[in-house]
Amino acid sequence: MTATTISAIESAAPPVTLPKLLSGQKALVTGASSGIGKAVATALGQAGADVVVNYVGNAAAADAVVEDIRKSGAKAYAHQADVSSEEEVAAMFTKMMQDFGTIDILVSNAGLQQDSAFPDMTLAQWNKVLSVNLTGQFLCAREAVREFLRRGVVPSVSSAAGKIICMSSVHQQIPWGGHVNYAASKGGIKLLMESMAQELAPQRIRVNAIAPGAIRTPINTSAWQTKEAYAALMTLIPYGRIGEPEDIARAAVWLASDHSDYVVGTTLFVDGGMTLYPGFATGG
């Protein structure tokens, strides 16, 4: 391994101070106690939004995210709910309406993997991944859209009646053997997002997605934790570094803000070029 690669392991997204693009807005981030969701929730708070930090299991981690957001001057609280449960999602939105009055931004981020070679994949593994990654996005988006439609545009807050950001993956586009449930869920998110965007744009609701590449989070530790794994990963990433949760968080702030007001139904790939088929750079 070369010195260049070792320093790449330690590299991080360059520091950036976020402008207060989201002042006065109310946001909900699902799966926000770790990884990308934690970074997105924190960044939305730094950008001026009040944030509901959804989590499913780790209350202490969610509380720590809430504390971080409050330090930037925004309001925040943690709410436990399983996004694949219709009742728990409905209760989460009812509480948010009581505490924050409305919702302007939904970041549907909660997701998981249950990997298996295809012949061995159980129905339980298939159903679990589809119900959290895809049905969870449907349930949360439906509640958010109902509130966006009820409230409409408030021009002093945002030019849109509401913004939804679906956390997808490069695997909405890149097939992924050994992970067919995950890839199917992300492919589903692509057309869920685009169909919602098409249907709801006339009501000034903007629905978009972010497709992260390889981001340094707990979901994919095996892909970056050892030098060997990191070096193998780099063959897939033209930009030569792993993504950091902050890389995704900054994209989410922009997509949630009026700076992206004309962006509707788009998937923003934040992947260091992973979807550029780097294997073809020197051949093909």
Binding string, residues 114-133; x marks residues near ligand NAD by CB under 6 A:
------------------x-
| Residue of 29, 35, 237, 260 interacting with ligand NAD (CB under 6 A) | 35
What are the helix and strand counts (H, E) for the chain?
Answer: 9, 7
Report, in Å, the least distance between residue 157 CB and ligand NAD. Answer: 27
State yes or no: residue 48 binds ligand NAD (CB under 6 A).
no
Q: Strand (E) positions, the chain?
A: 26-29, 50-55, 76-80, 105-108, 162-167, 205-212, 267-270
CA 169 to chain centre: 9
Q: How far apart are alpha carbons 279 and 195 in whole angstroms?
A: 32
**132 to 85, 119, 136, 199, 236: CA distances (angstroms):** 9, 22, 5, 23, 27
How many CB atoms are located within 10 Å of the residue 133 CB? 26
Report, in Å, the least distance between residue 148 CB and ligand NAD. Answer: 21
Report, in Å, the least distance between residue 34 CB and ligand NAD. Answer: 4
State yes or no: residue 169 binds ligand NAD (CB under 6 A).
yes
Which range in 44-52, 81-89, 192-200, 232-240 contacts ligand NAD by CB under 6 A?
81-89
State yes or no: residue 272 binds ligand NAD (CB under 6 A).
no
Which range in 27-35, 68-76, 227-235, 275-283 contacts ligand NAD by CB under 6 A?
27-35
> What residues are paired with 162 via a beta bridge?
205
Judged by beta carbon, residue 21 or residue 41, the one nearer ligand NAD is 41
Contact 211, 269 (CB under 8 A): yes
Q: How many residues bind ligand NAD (CB under 6 A)?
A: 27
> What residues are paired with 105 via a beta bridge?
27, 163
Catalytic site includes residue 262: no
Which residues contribute to the site for ligand NAD (CB under 6 A)?
A: 30-31, 33-37, 54, 56-57, 82-84, 109-112, 132, 167, 169, 212, 214-215, 217-220
Q: Which residues are catalytic?
A: 182
